[in-house]
């Protein structure tokens, strides 16, 4: 299943809303894993620190994975893979091309998408009519 926010842009509100939804789904499904998929981590330094705290950010940046409320969050970028085996993909502000790759990933059960701009939201809704807004 694909889920999306109607909040766009690199703001804290949409980011947190999506992150919390991904955690909830991972717990409900029993995988306790979230794949944090972005183009590059450096684009997210400030929003991760502001939203999830400096301690989480430091561990996540150093180890490329971190535990958050009992859920293991794995980092993958366009250039790197992780130990993520199955669960929910949290995909904030990624391109439609990157999202297509996540959709094809057999490890991913659900996707939580946070669009960058209104045009991305509109394109996403047209391409994925079954995507649920939360």
Q: What pairing do the DSSP bridges indicate for beta strands 87-92 and 71-76?
A: unpaired
Confidence grade of residue 110 (pLDDT, cut at 50, 70, 90): very high
Neighbours of 9 (CB within 10 A): 14
Domain containing residue 96: 2-133
Rounded CA gap, 128 and 37, in Å? 19
Total number of domains constituting the chain: 1
pLDDT at 78: 85
Comparing 16 with 42, the larger pLDDT belongs to 16
Mean local confidence (pLDDT), 13-18: 96
- pLDDT of 40 strictly over 90: no
Mean local confidence (pLDDT), 36-65: 90
- pLDDT of 71 strictly over 90: yes
Mean local confidence (pLDDT), 16-36: 98
Q: What is the CATH number of the domain that holds 59?
A: 3.40.50
């Amino acid at each position: 299943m694909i889920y999306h926010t109607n909040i766009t842009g690199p703001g804290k509100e949409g980011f947190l809303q999506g992150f919390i939804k991904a955690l909830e789904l991972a717990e409900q499904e029993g995988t306790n894993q979230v794949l944090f998929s972005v183009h590059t981590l450096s684009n997210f330094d400030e929003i991760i620190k502001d939203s999830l705290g400096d301690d989480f950010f430091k561990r996540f940046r150093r180890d490329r994975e971190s535990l958050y409320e009992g859920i293991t969050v794995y980092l993958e970028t366009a250039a790197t893979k992780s130990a993520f085996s199955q669960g929910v993909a949290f995909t904030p502000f990624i391109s439609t091309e990157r999202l297509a790759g996540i959709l094809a990933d057999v490890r991913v059960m659900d996707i939580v998408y946070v669009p960058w701009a209104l045009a991305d939201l509109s394109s996403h809704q047209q391409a994925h009519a079954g995507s649920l807004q939360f």
